[in-house]
Structure formats: C-alpha cells, structure tokens
Amino acid sequence: MNALDDDGVGSALTNIGRELSTLIDRIAGDDAAALSALADAIDDAPRIFVLAAGRSGLALRMTAMRLMHLGLEVHVVGEVTAPAIRAGDLLLTASGSGTTGNIVRAAQTAHSVGAGIAAITTAPTSPLAELASVTVVVPAAAKLDRTGAASGQYAGSLFEQMVVLLGDAVFHALWKRSGASAEELWPRHANLE
C-alpha cells in the first residue's frame, strides 16, 4: 500500500472517474442532439464570447483557448479586449444554477442584440436556459447541493469537470470536422509563455 492509498486519493480518483463516466454516458445518450446543436452553433457563429463564473469560468476559458486554436474568433467576456457582442455572434455560458446574476444579465443583453446563447447548466428551467437557443443539461449536483445524491464530490465539482470535458469534446468534434491537421493548428498555440 502506498501513501496515496493511505490518504484515500486513489480511491477518490476512482470514484471521480466513475461519476464522470456515468455522466458522460448519460449526456451522450440523452442529450446527443443538444451536443450536436452546440457544436453547430459554435461552428456557425462569426464570433464566440465565453462567460462563466468561478471554477466554471476557469473551465470554460480552457474551451475558449481550444476554439482559438481552431482559428475561430473567440473572446472572454470581461477581458479588456473583448468587443461588443452583436447579432449572429454566440454567447457560450456555463452556470450550474442557471441563475448567476452577471451571466443571466449578459445573456439578456446578447439576446436583445440578436446574438445566440448556448448554456451548459444543471437547471433546464432556469432563467439562463430559458434565454438559450442551445442548452446542454448536465445532471450533476448544483454547488449548494450537499446531499450527495447526484455526486459524492464537494459542491459543483462534477459540473465543473464536465464543463472541461464538454469543451474538449466539442473542440475535438469541430477539429475533426474541419479536416485540419494538428500541425496546422499548432502555429496558433501561445508562443509568449
């Protein structure tokens, strides 16, 4: 037995992997149409704006980077270089509750100018989901759910992990759809690190 087993980290990693695997199977089966619609909305938009808060925001920023690697015009809302959103653009959001104030307000603004809204959320009837033209429902625990029924992990961890995986899956599908090689994408990778 090694130190990781003594601390329960190995067991925790196994449990997290099981939760993710179960959730991936469920979303890919139950929400396949929404996943395709999300990929199409991103692919069709002239510009993509990403917005989420907290850990979900960090996860969605990873997706923004990958979409930029595809050559898409992507902006992170709140960055000083982000322009105004306009008709035809897409606001890509992630909010477990679908009620996060600044995200709902941004979605209302996007809607008012004719931009599309894509939401990744646990709450299909939330204000954010109601504004969205594409909603991917992640049946994971909301951050205030401490029951352990939807996930044994703390707060919204499973949701945030799924935001990362959904972003990578959409990127991968769009990359394969594009026919571009990894070598063709590589020059867009950051070189000022």
Per-residue tokens: 24: 């991936």
Give backbone dihedrals phi and psi of 124, rounded to 5 degrees, phi first. -70, -15
Alpha helices, H only, the chain = 3-7, 9-30, 32-44, 54-69, 101-112, 127-131, 157-178, 182-185
Active site residue 73: no
| Domain-wise residue ranges, the chain | 3-186
Q: What is the pTM of this model?
A: 0.92
Burial of residue 21 (CB within 10 Å: 0-12, 13-18, 19+) is exposed
Task: Please report the pLDDT score of residue 156 as a whole number.
Answer: 86
* pLDDT, tens digit (0-9, with 9 covering 90-100), for 135-193: 999 988 766 666 767 788 888 899 999 999 999 999 999 999 999 999 999 999 999 97
**3-186: CATH number:** 3.40.50.10490
Catalytic option among 19, 73, 79, 160: 160
